[in-house]
Amino acid sequence: MARSHGFRRGHRKILTKRPRNRGMQPLGRLLHVYNFGDKTVLKIDPSVHKGMPHARYQGKVGIIQEKRGSAYVIHLEEGHKTRCLIVRPEHLVPYSN
């Protein structure tokens, strides 16, 4: 049988929750209001498939540029390129120094 080349291939460890963290995420994370220019960390929630960025962006820090519907447009630097991602708030965590 041929190998799968799907979107989530090879991410078994990254896109899983620990047994005590399974289920719904805290409401504070969903209801947090982000302003333009805020820094945020991309932390993928594997239980929510909608608005999920690619797993290569797990743990990266980006800057919020605009809001599109219920999602946010985030710009982040990857090497010498600027990436533009559209991510829902379930996969975002406020950045703290």
Q: Where are the domains of the chain?
A: 26-94
| Closest of 69, 12, 70 to residue 46, by C-alpha | 12
Q: What is the pLDDT along the chain (97 residues), one digit of tens a residue?
A: 888 888 778 888 888 888 998 888 888 888 899 999 999 999 999 888 888 999 899 999 999 999 999 999 999 998 999 999 999 999 999 998 7
Determine phi and psi for 67, rounding to 5 degrees: -115, 135
- Residue given tokens 């799968």 in the structure block: 4
Please give the pLDDT value at position 25. Answer: 82
Residue 42 CA, distance from chain mean position: 4
Please give the pLDDT value at position 7. Answer: 79
CATH number of 26-94: 2.30.30.70
| Closest of 68, 76, 69, 70 to residue 38, by C-alpha | 76
User: Which residues on neighbouring strands pair with residue 97, listed in sequence order?
Assistant: none
Task: Name the DSSP letter for residue 14.
Answer: T
